[in-house]
Amino acid sequence: MDGGIVNSRVLKSAIDSGACGYLTVDLAALSRNYDKLSAIVAPTKTAAVVKADSYGLGADQVSKVLYGRGCRHFFVAHFIEALRLRPQLPGDATIFVLNGLLSGNEATCADGGIVPVINSLDQLQQWSQTARSLQRRLPAVLQFDTGMSRLGIPPEDRSAVATHLQASDDIDILFIMSHLASADEASSGQNADQLAEMRRVATEFPQYDVSFANSGGIFLGGDFHGVLARPGIALYGGAPTGGVANPMEAVVRLDVAVVQTRTVPEGARVGYAGVHVTKGRTRLATIAAGYADGLPRSLSDRGAVYYNGVRLPIVGRVSMDSTTIDISALPEGALSFGSMVEVLGDHQTVDDLARDAGLISYEILTSLGHRFHRQYR
Ligand SMILES: *Cc1c(COP(=O)(O)O)cnc(C)c1O
């Protein structure tokens, strides 16, 4: 690949749009990731988890592309995300709200044809009451807590839920679900524990299908698949399982402009608080992305960006709008004002950057800023 040509083309479009960085979302790679996951779980269906603006990549664009690949089940976390997404998708796409509804939102949810995930007996009773007052059956998903203690109906409320459902026919339960706490760790005993608990739930509610696996769960084997898998991070190219090669394709590329270069002598202090002191004569470049753009401050004096495959370490503290890198490994003059460096791309994955920052890929993706020019391919 001729990086010089690619970089000058990238630079031109960034300048055209007034941005100083270029976030590219590869929708073809996203589609291939969806197809790959679908093939693994088939005949189980594959939903798309598009919460937090599709992990920062754009819920509208991502959902439309995945709808085109046959996806009909879309999960968001907050009700407001469902309200925003609903008009973007055809009527045969179903949008599920993982966090359920806050009281007061029931009528809007019913009107919008949005499906709440019911996490408690109270919420079930409330939704039944809404159905009665609207004089029609309303759809819902029931989430059970199988050992994560986060969201879902706790074990002690299961029999009351079953009794409620027997007594009233106003809710149409589409399926039941639970969420895995350690699915990215294939060897964790918690996976088998949660599977056993989910099987107990399924025998108590035998009339309903089960949805269980997130991205990591898909790779734990068929026992975890149920009727509907719910991948998020794997669609967006993050590694679904720790400690093994990532089977997914990268979806995001981030190139950022150099806004200044300089050469400093040995002993120069770099950035806030002067925590980095140069050990010799050093060539530096300052790039136009900082923690407000999603480059975490924990990358201060850690991690790197790349230029034509050459690693350029981050030096000093990451600032709000800029970060300084050591470019001494490049030939003199290789980088100048306006050159583009790779933050995410062929040489650095989102998991690489997350590891250097002491974070997870989910945090990197959901934090990527909105000051870059976004391009969908
Ligand atoms: C976020 C979420 C998912 C998707 O998880 P990934 O690890 O990104 O695949 C699936 N189910 C629930 C309940 C979630 O909250």
Residue in 22, 34, 51, 291 annotated catalytic? 51
Is there a contact between 221 and 37 (Cβ–Cβ < 8 Å)? no
98 lines ligand 1 (CB under 6 A): yes
Which pLDDT band holds residue 13 (cuts at 50, 70, 90)?
low
How does DSSP assign 135-150, residue by residue? TS-EEEEEEB-SS--S
Residues in Cβ contact with 167 at an 8 Å cutoff, skipping those fewer than 6 apart = none
Residue in 45, 64, 67, 272 annotated catalytic? 272
The SS3 of residue 306 is strand
Q: How far apart are CA 217 and CA 239, in angstroms?
A: 12
Q: What percent of the chain has pLDDT over 70?
A: 96
How close is the Cα of 175 to the center of ligand 1, in Å? Answer: 16
Output the pLDDT for position 18.
Answer: 83
Which pLDDT band holds residue 210 (cuts at 50, 70, 90)?
very high
189 — alpha (psi -120 to 50), left (phi > 0) or beta?
alpha
Domains of the chain, by residue range, sit at 8-22+250-376, 27-236
Q: Does domain 8-22+250-376 have CATH number 2.60.40.10?
A: no
Q: What percent of the chain has pLDDT over 90?
A: 94
Q: Please give the helix or strand (H or E) that residue 269 lies within, else none.
A: strand 269-270
What digits encode the pLDDT tens for the residues 151-199?
Answer: 999 999 999 999 999 999 999 999 999 999 999 999 999 999 999 999 9
CATH class of residue range 27-236: alpha beta
Residue 53 reports pLDDT greater than 80: yes
Task: Give nearest CA residue, ligand 1 atom 3.
Answer: 214
- Two structure tokens written together for 168: 């009233």
Output the pLDDT for position 19.
Answer: 85
Which pLDDT band holds residue 8 (cuts at 50, 70, 90)?
low
Is there a contact between 124 and 98 (Cβ–Cβ < 8 Å)? no
Instruction: For residue 34, indicate whether it is catalytic.
Output: no
Output the pLDDT for position 11.
Answer: 56
The SS3 of residue 23 is strand
Please give the model's pTM, rounded to 2 decimal places.
0.95
Radius of gyration of the chain (CA): 24
Instruction: For residue 51, indicate whether it is catalytic.
Output: yes
Please tell me if the domain spanning 8-22+250-376 has the same topology as the one spanning 27-236.
no
Q: How far apart are CA 310 and CA 5, in angstroms?
A: 16
